[in-house]
């Protein structure tokens, strides 16, 4: 008896195909976003267009970035970075919260501060503050 | 008659146990490019046992195969034996359940894929619970699911071919 792909395809029922495709799709949906989060290991801090800091998000720490308005406090924990304190008036960059994935960014316009996580996935900024 | 077993069934269990043990040992000698990816050849025998016999017989064959295989490999009562046992038995239970309650929905290929997935999921759960005590191992899941699905298809086709060649009179479930 000759066995060919056609025969196997005939043998397989709709439920069979479901059993094959559903787990593959499910893992793709669940794990691919995490995969791109793997790329977001590094945050870049720019003041007035100049790169002033490059931060490894794997290490929990605090950084300071000096802009025209004053010094902003950057906190890093659990692979995420956020602006903990800012000298700006409206504090929208602080309210923007934590970012940790590629393409995400926090901008503080008065202080000319941009915190971004470079990566392949280009997304619109989650929040442009003030 | 409780507690008795027909010679035909006993013989079939013995033959399937021997076949499964040989496949299990053969597989352990194959090179493994990724440590957690194995074709699961012995699962074809479990599938045959589910189709030709019944769930208790299939569980018995898994138990004997795992015990014999690990005895010969020198890993008897080691952690890998309990992983094999848990995965193998869970796969047998799921495959028997699907075969019994959804008999016309799945072909042996689908039953085999579900068995392979169960095997991997339970092993990963056992590793997370008993070995490393961490949920970090679940990040391995995609690395297991994808090979499991393809191995399941191949094993299912093998089992289907074997089922076609098994003489009909051995199908008697007594």
The HSE-up count of residue A7 (CA atoms within 13 Å, CB side) is 8
pLDDT of residue B49: 94
Give A-chain residues touching B152 at CB under 8 angstroms: 20
H or E stretch at B133:
none
B144, closest residue in chain A (CA to CA): A27
DSSP, residue by residue, A80-115: EEEEEE-SSSS-HHHHT--B-STT-EEEETTTTEEE
Give B-chain residues touching A20 at CB under 8 angstroms: 110, 113, 149, 152-153
Q: Are A117 and A101 in contact (CB under 8 A)?
A: yes
Domains delineated in chain B = 7-171 (1.10.1760.20)
Residues 23-82, chain A: which have Cβ within 8 Å of B? Answer: 23-24, 27-28, 30-31, 34
The CATH architecture annotation of domain A40-129 reads Sandwich (2.60)
pLDDT of residue A93: 87
Tokens of B153: 């298809």
- Tally helices (H) and strands (E) across chain A: 3, 8
C-alpha to C-alpha distances, A52 to A43, A101, A125, B83, nearest whole angstrom? 11, 20, 20, 51
Tokens of B18: 């021997």
Can you tell me the distance from the alpha carbon of B108 to that of B44, in angstroms, rounded to the nearest whole number? Answer: 10
DSSP H stretches of helix in A1-130: 5-11, 14-39, 92-95
Q: Are B27 and B41 in contact (CB under 8 A)?
A: yes
Give B-chain residues touching A30 at CB under 8 angstroms: 141-142
pLDDT in tens, A73-123: 999 988 889 999 999 888 888 988 888 877 778 888 888 888 888 765 444
Tokens of B38: 């194995």
- CA A20 to chain B, closest CA, distance in angstroms equals 6
- CA B74 to chain A, closest CA, distance in angstroms equals 35
User: Does B57 or A11 have the greater pLDDT score?
Assistant: B57
pLDDT of residue B174: 52
| Domain ranges, ordered by start, for chain A | 5-37, 40-129
Average pLDDT over residues A38-57: 81
Give percent of chain A with pLDDT exceeding 90: 19
Chain A interface, best mutation among B140, B142, B144, by max A CB count within 10 A: B142
- CA A82 to chain B, closest CA, distance in angstroms equals 25
* pLDDT by 10-residue block (mean), chain B, 174 residues: 80 94 91 74 93 93 95 88 92 95 90 94 86 67 86 92 77 55
Whether this model's pTM surpasses 0.90: no
pLDDT of residue A53: 87
- Phi and psi at A55, nearest 5°, equal -115, 130
- CA A11 to chain B, closest CA, distance in angstroms equals 7
Q: Is residue A126 scored above 50 in pLDDT?
A: no
Q: Is residue A127 scored above 70 in pLDDT?
A: no
Measured between CB atoms, which of B110, B146, B157 is closest to A19? B110
Can you tell me the distance from the alpha carbon of B99 to that of B52, in angstroms, rounded to the nearest whole number? Answer: 11
**Do B149 and A20 count as a contact with CB atoms less than 8 A apart?**
yes
Q: Are B110 and A16 in contact (CB under 8 A)?
A: yes
Give B-chain residues touching A34 at CB under 8 angstroms: 139
């Amino acid at each position: 008896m000759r066995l060919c792909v056609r025969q196997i395809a005939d043998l397989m029922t709709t439920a069979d195909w479901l059993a094959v495709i559903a787990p593959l799709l499910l893992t793709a949906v669940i794990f691919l976003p995490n995969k791109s989060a793997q790329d977001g290991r590094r945050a870049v801090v720019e003041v007035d267009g100049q790169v002033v800091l490059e931060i490894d998000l794997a290490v929990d720490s605090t950084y300071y970035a000096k802009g025209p308005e004053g010094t902003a406090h950057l906190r890093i924990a659990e692979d995420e970075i956020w602006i903990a304190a800012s000298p700006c008036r409206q504090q929208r960059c602080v309210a923007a919260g934590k970012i940790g994935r590629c393409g995400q960014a926090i901008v503080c316009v008065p202080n000319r501060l941009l915190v971004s996580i470079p990566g392949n996935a280009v997304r619109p900024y989650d929040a442009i503050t003030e | 008659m409780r507690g008795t077993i027909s010679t035909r069934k006993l013989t079939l269990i013995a033959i399937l146990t021997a076949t499964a043990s040989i496949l299990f040992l053969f597989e352990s000698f194959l090179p493994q490019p990724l440590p957690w990816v194995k074709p699961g050849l012995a699962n074809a025998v479990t599938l045959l046992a589910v189709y030709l016999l019944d769930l208790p017989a299939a569980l018995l064959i898994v138990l004997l195969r795992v015990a014999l295989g690990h005895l010969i490999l020198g890993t008897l009562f080691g952690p890998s034996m309990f992983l094999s046992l848990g995965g193998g038995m869970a796969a047998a239970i799921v495959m028997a359940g699907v075969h019994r309650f959804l008999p016309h929905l799945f072909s042996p290929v689908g039953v085999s894929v579900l068995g392979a997935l169960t095997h991997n999921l339970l092993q990963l759960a056992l590793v997370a619970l008993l070995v490393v005590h961490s949920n970090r191992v679940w990040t391995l899941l995609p690395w297991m699911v994808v090979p499991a699905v393809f191995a399941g298809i191949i094993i299912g086709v093998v089992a289907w071919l074997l089922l076609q060649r098994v003489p009909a009179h051995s199908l008697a479930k007594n």
